[in-house]
Amino acid sequence: MRRVVITGLGPVSPIGVGAEAFHKAQLEGRSGIRRITRFDASALPVQIAGEVDVEVEAYLDKRELRRLDRFVQLALVAAELALKDAGLEVDRLDPTRVGTLVGSGIGGMETWEAQSRVFLEKGPNRISPFFIPMMIANMASAQIAMRYGFMGPSSTVVTACATGSDALGSALRMIQLGEADVVFAGGTEAAVTPMAIGAFGVMRALSTRNEEPQKASRPFTKSRDGFVLSEGAGVLVLEEYEHARRRGARIYAEVVGFGRSADAHHITEPHPEGKGAALAMRAALKDAGVPPEKVGYINAHGTSTPVGDRAEVLAIKQVFGEHAKRLAVSSTKSMTGHLLGAAGAVEAIATAQALYFGILPPTINLEDPDPELDLDFVPEPREARLEYALSNSFAFGGQNAVLAFRKVE
């Protein structure tokens, strides 16, 4: 198998846009959760979210803005950031050897809502001819390929909240198997919309701390009451090691393992004993050829839901045994909120930065730790020399994806 490394980071998140800003925000323990400004949420029980502060007009022209849903716009911004961060020059790449694999859990929710109103109020003849290509989930990958002329494998993963990690795992396989030398991979989501907030709200999946938005996402605490919905995108440049070495690229980390599994349990709740999550972690470690005791850090799925956090902790204890007490485990969702299909990609960026810079991102708002969840959840940023790290992503439907990373000296 060919080695695969990360050479470019493109985070577009509620706490920062671009690798430097995103990393700085983590070290400050900054929350990106605020009251919703993209629409009037006053009639909704949940009025908070993680919105991205980015001027997409600086990256896209007016024509593109009219014809692209926000989830695609954010993906294009993330891809541009990752391209520049990797130091790649498009005209020096073989376009047939560059792939794109950027998924979305929901796709064009904003377009769906807007065009549904048009259909109901004005009839079918007034529906936009761009409705379908704006909405469908594969358009993030497709638009990135079209923008840069990349003609290698182009695909899309849709596995709800595991999408970003699944996309990176699939991109890993593309390069290992020789289908591509470079892949732009990750996830994107723009579901901070009235329908999505309302729908997740009636499921009682969301936190209702409207008066304390910055404290609403509080994984592993006794008072956690649901996740906070966020928008954003994460695109990473994955590159075959020798290809990266020849051009003198900066290497953030090596992707050494990928594991996935199914809970086969429930449409929204994880297996109560974390069986599927444990299977995925074991699979990632086996794929990497790494014994559990060599892992020093896990970027947890850690959504801030009562059942989800508990199941993940039980899974970690199953896989790591006594070593679980020595593991550092943090949830960057405490700062970013839950980016759904983009979460795994943004958290992979945070994990790669933790390995590269030797500083662990914190779990903020850990004011009242749940006594049943007794791992080291890193309440403050912490220096740590790591060799291996995992990033966990678990989804509705019980679809699990775990990535294993190694520091490259």
Cβ contacts of residue 21 below 8 Å, gap of 6+? none
The reply to whether 209 and 284 lie within a common domain is no
pLDDT surpassing 90 at residue 394: yes
Q: Which residues pair with 33 in a beta bridge?
A: 50
Give yes or no: residues 265 and 194 share one domain: no
By residue range, what is the domain housing residue 26?
4-246
Over residues 264-304, the pLDDT tens digits come to 999 999 999 999 999 999 999 999 999 999 999 999 999 99
Q: Do both 272 and 348 map to the same domain?
A: yes
Task: Give tens-digit pLDDT for 247-273.
Answer: 999 999 999 999 999 999 999 999 999
pLDDT in tens, 145-182: 999 999 999 999 999 999 999 999 999 999 999 999 99
Same domain, 200 and 284: no
Domain check: are 213 and 107 in the same one? Answer: yes
Q: Of the residues 204, 221, 246, which one is the last residue of a structural domain?
A: 246
Whether 122 and 185 share a structural domain: yes
Is 111 known to be catalytic?
no
- Indicate whether 23 belongs to any domain: yes
Of 218, 246, 274, the last residue of a domain is: 246
Is residue 269 a part of any domain in this protein? yes
Q: Are 341 and 398 in contact (CB under 8 A)?
A: no
Record the tokens describing residue 401, joined without a space.
């994806």
Confidence of residue 94 (pLDDT cuts 50, 70, 90): very high
Share of the chain above pLDDT 90, in %: 99
| Length of the chain counted residue by residue | 409
Token pair of 175, please?
Answer: 């390069």
Q: What's the pLDDT tens digit per position in 61-83?
A: 999 999 999 999 999 999 999 99
Neighbours of 357 (CB within 10 A): 13
Residue 112 inside a domain? The answer is yes
Whether residues 295 and 170 fall in one domain:
no
Q: Is 225 exposed, middle or buried (0-12, 13-18, 19+ CB in 10 A)?
A: middle
| Residue where the block lists tokens 């039980």 | 314
Q: How far apart are CA 25 and CA 32, in angstroms?
A: 9
Structural domain contains residue 31: yes
Q: Which of 161, 174, 342, 366 is catalytic?
A: 161
> Is residue 407 assigned to a domain?
no
**pLDDT band at residue 91 under the 50/70/90 scheme:** very high
For residue 358, the 8-state DSSP code is: T
Same domain, 185 and 276: no
Domains: count for the chain: 2
The pLDDT > 70 percentage for the chain reads 100
Assess whether 110 and 223 both reside in one domain. Answer: yes
Which one of 211, 246, 281 terminates a domain? Answer: 246
Q: Does residue 397 register a pLDDT over 90?
A: yes
Report if residue 406 sits inside a domain: no
**Structure tokens that stand for 32 in this block:** 């990106």
Rounded-to-integer distance, Cα 183 and Cα 343, Å: 19
Q: Which pLDDT belongs to residue 409? A: 84
| pLDDT tens per residue across span 102-152 | 999 999 999 999 999 999 999 999 999 999 999 999 999 999 999 999 999
Per-residue pLDDT for 370 more than 90?
Answer: yes
Q: What is the dihedral of CA 15, 11, 103, 153, to 10 degrees?
A: 180
252 in a structural domain: no
**Residues 171 and 206 grouped into a single domain:** yes
281 and 178 both lie in a single domain: no
Looking at every residue in the chain, the average pLDDT score rounds to: 97
**CATH assignment at residue 240:** 3.40.47.10
Q: Say if 263 falls within a structural domain.
A: yes
pLDDT in tens, 184-240: 999 999 999 999 999 999 999 999 999 999 999 999 999 999 999 999 999 999 999
pTM above 0.75, yes or no: yes
Assign 1 a pLDDT band (cuts: 50, 70, 90).
confident
Query: Same domain, yes or no, for 275 and 178?
Result: no
